[in-house]
Amino acid sequence: MKSTMLQYDNAVEQAVDRLLQMGIFTSKADVFRIGAMELAARYGAVKSKEEIIEEMMMRDAESSYKKAKAGKGKFYRLDEL
């Protein structure tokens, strides 16, 4: 893990302190880490949680499809469930 020293103005300090007081984060480091990841997701620098969930669902669907195709599983229509 890397560390960085930050300097920020009073408005940022107030926002960080308020987030800590509200119990949303437990440390200033968490505020900045999560903030950086949220910005990275917003600007497409990292995958969003929706993209990650979709990839996981596709992997599961592929596995189920392969099993069914090999005769080791079966697909059901929604009205059959």
| Digit-coded pLDDT (tens) for 65-77 | 888 888 887 777 7
Check whether residue 53 and residue 65 sit in a common domain: yes
What single DSSP character describes residue 3? -
Q: Are residues 5 and 21 in the same domain?
A: yes
pLDDT at 26: 94
Model pLDDT, residue 61: 84
Q: Is residue 69 part of a domain?
A: yes
Please enumerate in sequence order all residues whose Cβ is within 8 A of that of 39, keeping only pairs 6 or more positions apart, or say none: 45
Predicted model pTM: 0.58
| Residue 36: domain span | 1-43
pLDDT of residue 59: 86
CA distance 79 to 43: 40
User: Is 79 part of any domain?
Assistant: no
Q: Assess if residue 70 is contained within a domain.
A: yes
Whether residues 28 and 66 share a domain: the answer is no
63 and 37 in a single domain? The answer is no
| pLDDT at residue 68, rounded to an integer | 80
Task: Say whether both 33 and 53 belong to one domain.
Answer: no
Which residues lie closer than 8 Å to 8 by C-beta, 6 or more apart?
16
Rg (CA), the chain: 22
